[in-house]
């Protein structure tokens, strides 16, 4: 009995040791796989035979590359962390936080989480990434733009689906702020989203008349340079889209069905490319109050093509949205 008991104990101990080795091996494998994900998956790519789309997984999963399939020309400006096509939100009063590392150039400034990174090139951390066919999903912890290496108390999510010559995007921010320095009860203009086409797409078009969706003549306003003090402000973009195109009228259109007010303009000089310090800019805007514990989400579309194709695509998308709304 005693011998059998000792044998059983020894056997059990061996089994326990084997189990511990197995668990350690599985844990190490999982760790290596996680490390491999971090090391290898720096870019998420979708190509549907019409467009090539890339998200930068080292910068919050923001849209970093958009080209015609087979072309190496990226029409998204990515010269710093404030560019790309990305989420950017505002809340509270503008504050001077230079003693805490805030940039002098961006002071005073409100609570401003952005998807890519901060002014000093610290990048947003990816929490999750999935690919399902032509759809990419990312989740990240954004950075406060004006601050030096200060993650925001929030998470951003983005669903990006490639459909023909259209990027259909759903954005979401979940806030859980604990700060006591910004005020909540302030309506702020939100960039929905912030879009930076290359400045080689230099001609701005939109419809700002009183007969939207009738193919009335488009407006071609003079592009305002940021050096004048601010971007151009367009309060009555009645078809809810603006486009920057080249001299052949080919380029990028941005459509947000919920926005009639847009900002747009040029920083620097025309004819810049993806890595140029010069850039074009479009942002559909809408006033919204982001409280400390809130969820805010919206949809928008990026349309690539000539000006007539961009407008006709917006018309089709508008009909779909209206049909869906009334069902």
Contact between 226 and 267 (Cβ < 8 Å): yes
Rounded Cα distance, 115 and 123, in Å: 8
CA-closest candidate to residue 284, choices 171, 159, 173, 193: 193
pLDDT digits 0-9 by tens, 185-207: 899 999 999 999 999 999 999 99
Contact between 299 and 192 (Cβ < 8 Å): no
Rounded Cα distance, 133 and 78, in Å: 26
pLDDT over 90 (residue 3): no
CA-closest candidate to residue 191, choices 80, 78, 89, 64: 89
Rounded Cα distance, 160 and 226, in Å: 29
- Name 282's Cβ contacts closer than 8 Å, sequence gap at least 6: 195, 197, 242, 243, 244, 254, 262, 263, 264
pLDDT over 60 (residue 13): no
Residue bearing the bigger pLDDT, 145 or 28: 145
Average pLDDT of span 211-240: 98
Confidence of residue 322 (pLDDT cuts 50, 70, 90): low
pLDDT digits 0-9 by tens, 114-158: 999 999 999 999 999 999 999 999 999 999 999 999 999 999 999
Q: Which two tokens stand for residue 254?
A: 């941005």
Determine how many CB atoms are found less than 10 A away from the CB of residue 86.
Answer: 29
Per-state percent for the chain, helix, strand, coil, to nearest 5: 20, 40, 40
| 3-class SS of residue 115 | coil
pLDDT over 50 (residue 32): no
CA-closest candidate to residue 117, choices 69, 64, 168, 166: 64
Rounded Cα distance, 54 and 76, in Å: 10
| 3-class SS of residue 18 | helix
- Name 195's Cβ contacts closer than 8 Å, sequence gap at least 6: 85, 252, 254, 281, 282, 283, 302
CA-closest candidate to residue 197, choices 60, 74, 23, 50: 74
R_g over Cα of the chain: 24
pLDDT of 41: 80
Average pLDDT of span 54-83: 98
DSSP state letter for 293? S
pLDDT over 50 (residue 21): no
Q: What is the distance of C-alpha 225 from the center of its chain?
A: 23
| 3-class SS of residue 190 | strand
Rounded Cα distance, 123 and 20, in Å: 38
pLDDT over 60 (residue 317): yes
Mean residue pLDDT across the chain: 89
Any idea which of 15-29, 39-53, 139-153 has the lowest mean pLDDT? 15-29
Determine how many CB atoms are found less than 10 A away from the CB of residue 186.
Answer: 17
Confidence of residue 47 (pLDDT cuts 50, 70, 90): very high
Q: Residue 140: which H helix or E strand, with range? A: strand 135-141
pLDDT of 40: 60
pLDDT digits 0-9 by tens, 75-107: 999 999 999 999 999 999 999 999 999 999 999
Rounded Cα distance, 94 and 106, in Å: 10
Determine how many CB atoms are found less than 10 A away from the CB of residue 221.
Answer: 14
The pTM of the full predicted model, rounded to 2 decimals, is: 0.87
Rounded Cα distance, 56 and 62, in Å: 6
pLDDT over 60 (residue 67): yes
pLDDT over 50 (residue 273): yes
* Long-range CB contacts (within 8 A, 24+) of 38-46: 41/129, 44/129, 44/131, 44/136, 44/138, 46/131, 46/134, 46/135, 46/136, 46/160, 46/162
pLDDT over 60 (residue 167): yes
């Amino acid at each position: 009995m005693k011998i059998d008991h000792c044998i059983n104990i020894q056997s059990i101990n061996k089994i326990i040791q084997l189990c511990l080795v197995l668990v350690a091996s599985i844990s190490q494998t999982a760790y290596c796989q996680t490390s491999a994900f971090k090391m290898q998956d720096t870019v998420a790519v979708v190509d549907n035979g019409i467009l090539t789309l890339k998200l930068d997984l080292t910068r919050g999963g923001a849209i970093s590359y958009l080209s015609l399939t087979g072309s190496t020309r990226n029409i998204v400006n990515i010269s710093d962390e404030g560019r790309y096509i990305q989420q950017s939100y505002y809340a509270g009063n503008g504050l001077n936080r230079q003693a805490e590392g805030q940039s002098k150039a961006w002071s005073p400034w409100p609570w401003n989480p952005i998807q890519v990174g901060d002014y000093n090139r610290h990048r947003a951390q990816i929490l999750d990434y999935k690919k399902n066919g032509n759809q990419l999903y990312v989740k990240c912890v954004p950075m406060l733009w004006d601050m030096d290496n200060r993650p925001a108390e929030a998470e951003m999510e983005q669903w990006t689906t490639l459909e023909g010559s259209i990027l259909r995007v759903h954005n979401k921010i979940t806030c859980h702020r604990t700060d006591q320095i910004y005020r909540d009860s302030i309506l702020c203009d939100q960039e929905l989203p912030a879009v930076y086409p290359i400045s080689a797409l230099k001609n701005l078009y939109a419809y700002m008349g009183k007969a939207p969706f009738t193919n009335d003549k488009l407006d071609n306003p003079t592009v305002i340079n940021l050096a004048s003090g601010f971007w151009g402000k367009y309060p009555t973009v009645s078809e809810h889209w603006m486009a920057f195109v080249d001299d052949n009228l080919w380029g990028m259109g941005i459509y947000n069905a919920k926005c009639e007010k847009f900002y747009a303009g040029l920083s620097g000089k025309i004819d810049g490319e993806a890595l140029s310090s010069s850039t074009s800019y479009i942002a559909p805007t809408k006033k919204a109050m982001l409280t400390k514990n809130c969820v805010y989400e919206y949809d928008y579309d990026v349309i690539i093509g000539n000006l007539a194709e961009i407008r006709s695509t917006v018309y089709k998308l508008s009909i779909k949205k209206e049909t869906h709304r009334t069902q």
